[in-house]
Amino acid sequence: MYQYQDFIIRNWQESDRTLASQVISSVLSEYGLPWQPEAADKDVLNIQEYYLKTGGEFWVIEQEYQIVGTAAYYPINRGEKAVEIRKMYLLPKVRGLGLGKFLLQQLETVISAGGFEQIWIETASILTAAVKLYESNGYLPTTGVETTRCDLVYVKYL
Buried b / exposed e along 88-117 (16+ C-beta atoms within 10 A):
bbbbeebeeeebbebbbebbbebbeeeebe
pLDDT at 80 (0 to 100): 87
pLDDT band at 2 (very low <50, low <70, confident <90, very high): very high
The string of pLDDT tens digits covering residues 132-154 is 999 999 999 999 999 999 999 99
State pLDDT tens for residues 40-72.
999 999 999 999 999 999 999 999 999 999 999
Residue 79: the pLDDT is 83
pLDDT in tens, 77-110: 998 899 999 999 999 999 999 999 999 999 999 9
Global pTM reads 0.96
